[in-house]
Structure formats: C-alpha cells, structure tokens
Structure 1
Amino acid sequence: MPVPVLRSAVLLAAVLHAAPAPAQPERGVPDTLAQRVAACTSCHGSPSAPPPTTGPHYYPRIAGKPAGYLYNQLQNFRAGRRQFPLMTYMVAPLSDDYLREIAAYFSTQHLPAPVLARASLPADQLARGRELVTRGDTALKVPACVACHGQRLTGALPAIPGLLGLPRDYINAQFGAWRNGTRHANAPDCMATIAGRLSLADVAAISGWLASEPLPDDDDPAPDVAHPMPLACGSEPERP
C-alpha cells in the first residue's frame, strides 16, 4: 500500500476510534408546570419534598397562599419593589400571564405543617408578641395582625398572606426590609408604615411568637371579607 494511502488509513482509523459513540435518544422531560417550577420548589418546597422542619432555614412557605398575593409578590420582585437577586433573575423575563399561572399553581398546593419549637424568648417578650399580633397597640397606632391576616393568621382571600409556618429569620428579614426601604408595595404601603412604628424589640417579639405558633389543621385562607381597616399590607393586587 502506498505510503500516502497507508497514512490516510491510519488517520481515519484514529479518528473513528476517538469519535464518541452515537448519542442515545434523549428521554423527553414532561412539559408540565410542575416541572417548570422545579426551581421554585427546590427552595420553597413541594408536597413530595417539603422544606426542612428542623434546623436553620430561611425560605418561606408559599404553598396554599392566596394566588393574588403570590402574583403581586412575583410582580414586586420583577419590578424591583422587593429585592432578592435569585428571585429577580428568575422572574425578570416572565410575562404577567405566566406569573399568574405560577401563582395559581402554588395557591393550590399543600405542604405538611412544620414542627416548630417555641422561641427562646422570655415569657414577657412572647406575651408582648402575642399582644401585638392579636390586639395591636393603639398608642403606637399599630393594628393587630389578625385584622388583615385573619383571626387564624392563615391569610384571607383574595390577596392577604398567612403568617404561620414561616421561619423566624424570614419574618425578621421582611420587617427589616420594610424599615430600611428595600421592600416596597403599591400604595398604601401599610406594612412599611407599621414596621417603622415598631421597635426592634417589638419586631423580635412578633417574629418569635408567630414562628412558635403551629399551623391549624385547616390552614386555608379565610373567605374574602371586608377588613375593619383599609390596609393592603403590601399584598393587594395592582388596580388597573
């Protein structure tokens, strides 16, 4: 065999030997909303993989919260009224219709109730937290949390979130964001006003008491009823 032909044959054999095997047909991933929101459930949990119930954790439960609230918060992240880089990155390219679809999906989800330990606060501080949550403080012009978030603190339709089952660190962080102006809502931004009227000790008392209270067996939001105070609490959907 002439040398040039032999050389070509050796090169061809080397190339064929080094070439990867034919790719196996890829199995299709189901194009379902549950599959598309897997990035959300990796932090916020899903019925098949709930978030941890022990140890330090931060991310809030969003399953079962009113769709109106979830939609409005997704809009807030996209518009910069709430700031968390990962959330902003994820929702920035999404349309309003897609955000509504995501919100509606999570509003129908239900997660097991977390097992919470009583906060290690003095009894008088926990009592102060309970007082603020259930009765408010007229001297500070701070309404009771139950006035908007429901007597059972499980939220109210169409757009008021529940406050139970949330990590204490998350509750503290939200009060801090309202106080320092990094979290906003459409007017009236009542939570920013309320947070500014509370001392840091009061914030700690509220978060400690809320994070220690168990979710009721029925944690569905309360029906849509008129609230005694015109407070949107940063949760009312945008008006056209």
Structure 2
Amino acid sequence: MKLSIRFACWLAFALLACGALAQPAPTSARSDMERRMAACITCHGREGQATNSGYFPRLAGKPAGYLYEQLRSFRDGRRQQAEMSYLLVNLSDTYLREIAEYFAALDLPYPPPAPSDLSTSELARGKALVFQGDEARGIPACVSCHGQALTGNGPAIPGLLGLPRLYIASQLGAWVTRDRRALPPDCMAEVGRKLETADIRAIAGWLAAQRMPPMNSQTAVAPLARLQRDCSATGAHG
C-alpha cells in the first residue's frame, strides 16, 4: 500500500473519529448510522463494498458475528492496526455489535476478480491447499472451516472470496507472526504457524483470482457446520 494512501486514510480517521463513531442514542436511525460510518468507508470503500485491488477488505455482507469479533479484537489489542485501534478504543460492545450488524446487512455486488500474475504451478498449489490442505504438515483445507464454496460458515466464519490478494496474504502472515490473535482456542494461529511463505503466496493468489459464486452475499453464507477443530470464533468444538 502506498504511503500516500495510508496517510490519506489516517488523516480521515483523525478528522472523523471524534464525531463519526461517537456512540449513538438507542433510537439512532439508519441514516444516522450511515453518517457515523463515514470513517469506515474512507478506507473500506462506499458502504464497505471495497474493490478487488489494494489492501482494505470488504465489510459489506460479512457475517455480523465475525465483524463484531474483529472489532473487539482491534479494540482490545488482539489485532494490531493503529488506525482501527484509535477509532475503536472507547466504544462499547453494544455499539460494536451495531456497527457489525449495519455492514452485515448490506447486500452489494462483488467486483470481478483481478487477473493473477502467479504461475500455473503456484495457482495449483494454492488450490490444493484450499481444498485439500496438507495432511503431512497438519494443515487443514480452508474449506473445512470456511465452507465448500469459500463463502463463509455460520455467523462468525467469513468468506474468503472477493478480497484483495495483499490483504489475504498479510492476514495469513499476521497469524504466523502472532500480530493477529483470537481468544483461545485460537484455531487460525495454530494453522498459520504451519504455513510457509510460498504457501501464503499461493493461497492468497488463488483465492483472489476466484469469482464470487452467483448468489448474493447473504445467502452465500452456509449454516454453521460442526468444525474439525476447537475454535473460539464460533464456540464450535470438533
């Protein structure tokens, strides 16, 4: 991400944080919520729709449970990102849930994927890890938790499609370096520590090159399935 883009987002955060995310009265109307989300869309795109390029991930249509837990993680220091922590540090769980539900309710089209510059062999490696994992190294398939269509699983596990490659790679790397954490049992940290740099490049490149299935962002999320491992994100235990 270019420095100028990061600076622009930080400046917008500084200008908007005091008022845009101030906690509303319980009777706040949707139009008021839209105004308060101005700080979010500065980087995540209008209505949190984002694009398939750059760094910032899409918010629109993500599972509310997932968005809520990520907001809490930024606020409480389990995820490291200065701008997000600055915006959320004084917000209550109740308001974070309202933010999550606002973006989760948005049903917007996904852009077509950007062309991949990875080699055929790298893309094949990424696809194999996504659908089959690597049993010898104890790496589960991505689909075992994120759903066979990779569009999410229940209220708290997000889809993996429609995200920029740089964002996917950076988040997988953050699990490896422990810059991103979840409450125990932290299933992604367990998986992330087993990934090599080439694995991350291949997985991120293959996922980012895939088109979203022909269904809207709400119906794409499958009902919560029983997971193969303990994971605090859902409270599901294998």
TM-score range, shorter chain: 0.7 to 0.9
Shift of 1:226: 1.9
The TM-score, its normalising length taken from structure 2, stands at: 0.80
Give the equivalent residue in structure 2 for 1:136: 133
- Partner residue of 1:236? 234
Q: Which residue of 1 aligns with 2:197?
A: 200
How far did 1:225 drift? 2.4
Letter in 1 for 2:107: H
Question: Is the aligned partner of 1:44 residue 2:44?
Answer: yes
Gaps of 5+ in 1: 1-29
Choose from 97, 119, 124 the match for 2:121.
124
Match of 1:156 in 2: 153
Distance 1:152 1:231 in 2: 21
| Equivalent pair of 1:73/1:235 in contact (CA under 8 Å) | no
Which residues of structure 2 form unaligned runs of 5+?
1-29
C-alpha distance in 2 between matches for 1:41 and 1:198: 32
Give the whole-Å Cα distance in 2 for the aligned partners of 1:52 and 1:158.
23
The residue that corresponds to 2:26 in the other structure is none
* CA pair 155-52 structure 1, distance change in 2 beyond 3 A: closer
Q: Is the 8 A contact 2:176 2:195 kept in 1?
A: no
Aligned to 2:63: 66
**Aligned residue pairs: how many?**
205
- Alpha-carbon separation, structure 2, partners of 1:115 and 1:82: 29
Match of 2:19 in 1: none
Q: Identity, % of aligned pairs?
A: 50
CA distance in 1, matches of 2:119, 2:127: 13
Kindly report structure 1 stretches of 4+ aligned residues shifted beyond 6 Å: none
Which of 150, 175, 178 is equivalent to 1:178? 175
Give deviations 1:121-163, integer Å, cap 9, x for gaps.
Answer: 1111111100100111100111110111011111111200110
> Any conservation in 2 of the 1:69–1:159 contact (CA below 8 Å)?
yes
Q: Are the equivalent residues in 1 in contact too, given 2:49–2:58 (CA < 8 A)?
A: no
**Comparing both chains, which one has the higher relative contact order based on Cα–Cα distances under 8 Å and sequence gaps of 6 or more?**
1
Q: CA RMSD in A?
A: 2.1
What TM-score do you get using the length of structure 1 for normalisation?
Answer: 0.80
How far did residue 52 of structure 1 move?
4.0
Name the stretch that deviates more: 118-127 or 77-86.
118-127
Query: Alpha-carbon deviation of 1:213?
Result: 0.4
